[in-house]
Amino acid sequence: MGPTRKPNVCSRLSRRALGCFSRDAGVVQRTNLGILRALVCQESTKFKNVWTTHSRSPIAYERGRIYFDNYRRCVSSVASEPRKLYEMPKCSKSEKIEDALLWECPVGDILPNSADYKSSLIALTAHNWLLRISATTGKILEKIYLGHYCKFRYLSWDTPQEVIAVKSAQNRGSAVARQAGIQQPVLLYLAVFQVLPFSLIGILEINKKIFGNVTDATLSHGILIVMYNSGLVRLYSFQTIAEQFMQQKLDLGCACRWGGTTGTVGESPFGIPCNIKITDTPPLLFEVSSLENAFQIGGHPWHYIITPNKKKQKGVFHICALKDNSLAKNGIQEMDCCSLESDWIYFHPDASGRIIHVGPNQVKVLKLTEIENNSSQHQISEDFVILANRENNKNENVLTVTASGRVVKKSFNLLDDDPEQETFKVVDYEDELDLLSVVAVTQIDAEGKAHLDFHCNEYGTLLKSIPLVESWDVTYSHEVYFDRDLVLHIEQKPNRVFSCYVYQMETNGSLI
């Protein structure tokens, strides 16, 4: 069945003015976003490059905010022209912000202060301070000192908008110690916090005696994921580990005696002691081997995606059931392409359980369904495919003339990501408008030209195409964001030069 006909914008606006909605609290918001989607995709709508800037430090984007100078300067992209929200005072190198996450108030939670309902930036500094910064003023609202026994460097969500994990750099020891063959017992640390109000869950050490030669570890949705150089990936329950091996419950702001020293938890110079030290092998939930530790979980019911742990299998993906490791029917996905850059695959972020497989000349959206008359087994099938706009003939003929005047014709195959052919570079999902955004690039003469296409997330239909005015060099690093009525392109050039291009929606020559 094709898409059902939906009311036009005028009809939706009339119904909204009359209050013709059900009692569902989300109906008004969904109606407004439906109107915005219709405006974004209509033929007369254009996206205009309203602002371009350059920086010597990385540029980051999050929810209508553009961050410069290691998150110390914030520019709002919501207005018709980006405007500065705040700029924090200059700081020393040791106070530089290493990483940051944007926290937005979860719906339904009761917070102690009214100011806590406003968005905050959770930032990690180079000297191990965890800060909560107002996302609109740049004022520091809270600060927690983590300690001096390791170098904390990375922030990530364990549970989005609820629990954060602060990961240390790996402890490789000094060059002298490595040359002497001295092994470091603790490889890295993970500090886990409940956010707003900030409360410590615990700091966990990953040590070599228990886990072996670990190359990396992280937390996701309460699961401790440990990775090895061999490609092995092991999963453990963080809650079980915390309950079994926590030495002492610690509360931020409270006095504590630890190792003969007394201090206040989370304040300098005491910091937060490592209070979860594993002394025995914890229960293993799951184990799998995958090339380059590539491992993803998703789908309905739970499935996982891996690449067999052999170099010649690169670009081959196996989709298996988590409950029994059985391979889904048609679960081996391999894109028939010859390219310099590898294709990539991931579970669709729209929570539909589908899978997106991206190659240089096609985007496949795959669905996971039950096999008829066998509900315990599942199969992979194509939902829809987005194809690049290019010639079907992969062969190209070259004429050469020998010294004797003889004309020789040679035929060779073009690569699927040949820069002179339209090639997909970025695929993303705009969850509020329910659109897939795809960046396609073609090398024309000496420079690349890119356009951003919006596709229906349900059927894959092309709804809108937006040309990017700046040239696109395929050798540079690029990020493209599509956020409601905004398109933002961040480019990293050689010698750490970063460029930011901001586009905003306009209709009939007026910015929305």
**pLDDT (tens digit per residue) in 168-186:** 999 876 554 445 445 568 9
Type of residue found at 417: D
The DSSP bridge pattern shows strands 199-207 and 232-237 to be unpaired
pLDDT number for residue 318? 97
Whole-angstrom CA distances from 443 to 170, 199, 417, 419, 471 are 41, 52, 11, 5, 9
Whether the per-residue pLDDT at 77 is higher than 60: the answer is yes
**pLDDT (tens digit per residue) in 387-408:** 999 876 555 555 556 666 565 5
Question: Closest Cα partner for 232 from 274, 298, 284?
Answer: 284
Is residue 417 classed exposed, middle or buried when 0-12, 13-18 and 19+ CB atoms within 10 A define those classes? buried
**pLDDT (tens digit per residue) in 97-147:** 999 999 987 666 777 777 778 899 999 999 999 999 999 999 999 999 999
Highest mean pLDDT among 103-112, 285-294, 336-345, 414-423: 285-294
Other CB atoms within 10 Å distance of the CB of residue 20: 11
Whether the per-residue pLDDT at 31 is higher than 50: the answer is yes
pLDDT number for residue 80? 76
What's the pTM? 0.87
Whether the per-residue pLDDT at 223 is higher than 60: the answer is yes
**pLDDT (tens digit per residue) in 154-168:** 999 999 999 999 999
What is the four-CA torsion angle of 67, 73, 77, 79, rounded to 10 degrees?
Answer: 170
pLDDT number for residue 178? 46
